[in-house]
């Protein structure tokens, strides 16, 4: 069964704007991960944040984790058309469970 | 770094026909291996995972099966395909069950 739930399901923005996606989960986690999937392709790992971390950066990506609210957010700054993809969160505990994803469209 | 190969990339099969999808991994040893299915526009459903040769755990009851004949080979099979087996099948590997997973390019299966 799925663990994380992403919000919104779809997001459309203009190039240069920031994109924020949220993930909520229900049970304990050891880590939370974000993945990206271009249409018809496999998933690519973006970033992993552990349960004792609150924020993590990687290039234009910023991930936050609030274990008290059981939620995480992924911020993509200065978005580009090439960022158009689906983004999934996955929670790790005894195993890893993926959410249904947010479809991000960045218009040039 | 690891590379995951999957083939074929696309497959169209009639209902009732058998299935064999293969996944091989390079650049790592003793990996955990996974098979996921993704319906159009949806998230990933874990089908099977394997922590070693000959060790298969099934997550959902269905007419699919998996085998791991070698350390870096994972096969997804069916004796008789159903229409509901259509989807995008992804193979992944990782070192532990909860850490980063690396995905193959996927196989799109259409059962008619």
Residue A3 is predicted with a pLDDT of: 63
B90 forms beta bridges with B36
**Per-window interface: B 34-63 vs A, CB < 8 A:** 36, 41-44, 46, 49
Separation in Å, CA of A108 to nearest CA in chain B: 23
* Beta carbons of B49 and A44 less than 8 Å apart: no
Q: Do B106 and A40 touch (CB under 8 A)?
A: yes
Confidence of residue A45 (pLDDT cuts 50, 70, 90): very high
Helix (H), strand (E), coil (C) string for chain A: CCCCEEECCEEEEECCCCEEEEEECCCCCCEEEEEEECCCCCEEEEEEEECCCCEEEECCEEEEEECCCCEEEEEECCCCHHHCEEEEEEEECCCEEECCCEEEEEEC
Tens of pLDDT, residues B48-65: 999 999 999 988 878 999
| pLDDT at site A1 | 42
* Per-residue pLDDT, B12: 97
Top pLDDT among A72 and B42 is at A72
Residue of chain B whose alpha carbon sits nearest to that of A46: B100
The mean pLDDT of B67-73, rounded to a whole number, is 97
Whether omega before B8 lies within 30 degrees of 0, making that bond cis, reads: yes
Please report the pLDDT score of residue B39 as a whole number.
85
Q: Is the pLDDT of residue A59 over 50?
A: yes
Confidence of residue B41 (pLDDT cuts 50, 70, 90): confident
Separation of alpha carbons A18 and B75, rounded Å: 41
Q: What is the pLDDT of residues B6-23, one digit of tens each?
A: 999 999 999 999 999 999
What is residue A86's predicted lDDT score, i.e. its pLDDT?
96
**Confidence check: pLDDT of A48 > 60:** yes
Give residue-wise pLDDT tens across range B88-110: 999 999 988 778 999 999 999 99
Best residue in B8, B33, B44 for a mutation probing chain A (most A CBs within 10 Å): B44
Residue A103 has pLDDT above 60, yes or no: yes
Percentage of chain B modeled with pLDDT above 90: 79
Residue B78 pLDDT exceeds 60: yes
Band of pLDDT at residue B37, cut at 50, 70 and 90 = very high
């Amino acid at each position: 069964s799925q663990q994380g739930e992403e919000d919104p399901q779809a997001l459309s923005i203009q190039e240069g704007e920031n994109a924020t996606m949220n993930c909520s989960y229900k049970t304990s986690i050891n880590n939370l991960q974000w993945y990206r999937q271009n249409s018809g392709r496999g998933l690519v790992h973006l970033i992993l944040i552990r349960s004792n971390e609150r924020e993590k950066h990687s290039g234009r990506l910023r991930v936050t984790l609030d274990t008290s609210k059981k939620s995480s957010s992924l911020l993509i700054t200065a978005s580009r058309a090439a960022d158009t993809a689906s983004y999934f969160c996955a929670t790790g505990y005894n195993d890893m469970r993926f959410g249904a994803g947010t479809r991000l469209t960045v218009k040039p | 770094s690891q590379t995951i190969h999957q083939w074929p990339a696309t497959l169209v099969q009639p209902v009732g026909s058998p299935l064999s999808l293969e996944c091989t991994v390079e650049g790592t040893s003793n990996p955990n291996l996974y098979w996921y299915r993704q319906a159009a526009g949806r998230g990933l459903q874990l089908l099977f995972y394997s922590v070693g040769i000959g060790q298969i755990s099934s997550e959902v009851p269905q007419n699919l099966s998996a085998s791991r004949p070698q350390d870096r080979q994972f096969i997804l099979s069916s004796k008789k395909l159903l229409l509901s087996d259509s989807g995008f099948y992804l193979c992944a590997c990782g070192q532990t069950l909860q850490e980063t997973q690396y995905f193959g390019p996927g196989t799109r299966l259409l059962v008619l």
